[in-house]
Structure 1
Amino acid sequence: MGPIFLTIFISMIGFGIVIPVLPVYAKSAPFKLGPTELGWLVGIFSLVQLFSGPIIGKISDRVGRKPVLLVSIIGTAIGYFITGGASAAWMLFLGRIIDGGSGGNIATAQACIADVTPPEQRSRAMGQIGAAFGLGFILGPAIGGLLSLYSPSLPFYFAGALSVLNAVLVWVRLPETLTEEKRLHPKEASPLGEVFAEGRGRFIGLLLAATLLSTTGFAFIHLLFALFCQDHLHYDMRHTSYAFAYVGFIAVLVQGGLLRRLPMDRIEKPVAALGAVLLAISLYLLPRADTTGAFLWVTALMALGNGLLVPTLTGMASRHVHGRAQGRVLGLNASAGALGRFLGPALAALPLPAAFSDWDRPLAPDVLAIANHSYIVAFSASAGIMVVAFLIILAMKPLDFKTPGEDTGVATA
Structure 2
Amino acid sequence: MEARSSARLAQFALSFGLTINTTGQSFLLVVLPPLGRSLGFSDIQTGGILSISALLLMASAPVWGYLSERIGRRPVLLTALAGAAIAAALFGLLVHLRLAASLSAALTLGLFICVRAAQSLASSGILPASQAYMADITIPAQRTSAMGILGAAMGLGAILGAALAWQIAPTSPGSAFAIVCGLAVAAFASVFFLAREPARVARETSVEARLPLARIAPLLLITVASISAYSVLQQVTALRLQDALGFTVEESIARGGAALMATAMAMIAVQLFVVRLLRWEPVRLLGVGAAIAAISLLICSLVDSYAAIFGTLVMLGVGLGLMLPGNLAFLSLSTGAGAQGKAAGVNVLAQGLGQAIGPLAGAALHRISPQVPFLTATALLVLCCAVAIFIWRASVCRKDPRSASLADGQSR
More helix per residue: 1 or 2? 2
Alignment of 1:216-365 (within 5 A): 216-233=228-245, 234=247, 235-263=251-279, 267-353=281-367
> Are residues 1:65 and 2:66 paired?
no
Question: What is the aligned partner in structure 1 of residue 200 from structure 2?
Answer: 180
CA contact (8 A) 1:12 1:133 kept: yes
- Tell me the secondary structure at the aligned position of residue 374 of structure 1: coil
Looking at both structures, which has the greater relative contact order when contacts are Cα pairs under 8 Å and sequence separation is at least 6?
1
Alignment of 1:23-172 (within 5 A): 23-29=33-39, 32-86=40-94, 87=103, 88-103=108-123, 104-119=125-140, 122-172=143-193
CA contact (8 A) 2:209 2:336 kept: no
- Tell me the secondary structure at the aligned position of residue 365 of structure 2: coil
Alignment partners' CA distance in 1, 2:14 and 2:278: 22
CA contact (8 A) 2:233 2:373 kept: no
1:265-313 superposed Cα distances (whole Å, 9 cap, x missing partner):
xx10110122222222222222323234322320111101111222222
CA distance 1:290–1:114, change in 2 (3 Å):
farther
CA contact (8 A) 1:9 1:135 kept: yes
Report the alpha carbon displacement of residue 27 of structure 1 after superposing the two structures with TM.
Answer: 1.9
CA contact (8 A) 1:123 1:316 kept: no
Normalised by the length of structure 2, the TM-score is 0.82
Alignment partners' CA distance in 1, 2:369 and 2:33: 16
Question: What is the aligned partner in structure 1 of residue 4 from structure 2?
Answer: none
Question: What is the aligned partner in structure 1 of residue 409 from structure 2?
Answer: none
CA contact (8 A) 1:54 1:331 kept: yes
Alignment partners' CA distance in 2, 1:181 and 1:401: 23
Question: What is the aligned partner in structure 2 of residue 380 from structure 1?
Answer: 375
| Aligned residue identity for 2:389 | L
Report the alpha carbon displacement of residue 401 of structure 1 after superposing the two structures with TM.
Answer: 4.8
Alignment partners' CA distance in 2, 1:207 and 1:110: 17
Gap regions ≥5 residues in structure 1: 354-372, 403-413
**One of 161, 180, 203 as aligned partner of 2:215:** 203
| Aligned residue identity for 2:352 | A
Q: How many residues align?
A: 370
1:149-180 superposed Cα distances (whole Å, 9 cap, x missing partner):
44333322321222121111100112334x23
Alignment partners' CA distance in 2, 1:190 and 1:343: 36
Alignment partners' CA distance in 1, 2:206 and 2:197: 20
Alignment partners' CA distance in 2, 1:310 and 1:258: 13
Alignment partners' CA distance in 1, 2:136 and 2:244: 45
Report the alpha carbon displacement of residue 124 of structure 1 after superposing the two structures with TM.
Answer: 4.3
CA distance 1:155–1:113, change in 2 (3 Å):
same
Alignment partners' CA distance in 2, 1:127 and 1:290: 36
Alignment partners' CA distance in 2, 1:268 and 1:117: 21
Report the alpha carbon displacement of residue 204 of structure 1 after superposing the two structures with TM.
Answer: 1.2
Normalised by the length of structure 1, the TM-score is 0.81
Alignment partners' CA distance in 2, 1:65 and 1:8: 14
Gap regions ≥5 residues in structure 2: 1-10, 95-102, 404-412
Alignment partners' CA distance in 2, 1:120 and 1:286: 40
Alignment partners' CA distance in 2, 1:286 and 1:190: 49
1:382-410 superposed Cα distances (whole Å, 9 cap, x missing partner):
111221222122222455359xxxxxxxx
Alignment partners' CA distance in 2, 1:374 and 1:47: 26
CA distance 1:345–1:153, change in 2 (3 Å):
same
Report the alpha carbon displacement of residue 120 of structure 1 after superposing the two structures with TM.
Answer: 5.8
Report the alpha carbon displacement of residue 44 of structure 1 after superposing the two structures with TM.
Answer: 2.0
Alignment partners' CA distance in 2, 1:376 and 1:292: 13
Alignment partners' CA distance in 1, 2:260 and 2:112: 22
CA contact (8 A) 1:3 1:174 kept: yes
| Aligned residue identity for 1:102 | A
CA contact (8 A) 1:215 1:344 kept: yes
> Are residues 1:212 and 2:207 paired?
no
- Tell me the secondary structure at the aligned position of residue 279 of structure 1: helix
CA distance 1:121–1:271, change in 2 (3 Å):
farther
1:32-72 superposed Cα distances (whole Å, 9 cap, x missing partner):
22232222112222110111011111112333322211111
CA distance 1:299–1:343, change in 2 (3 Å):
same
CA distance 1:175–1:308, change in 2 (3 Å):
farther
CA distance 1:74–1:391, change in 2 (3 Å):
same
CA contact (8 A) 1:144 1:241 kept: yes
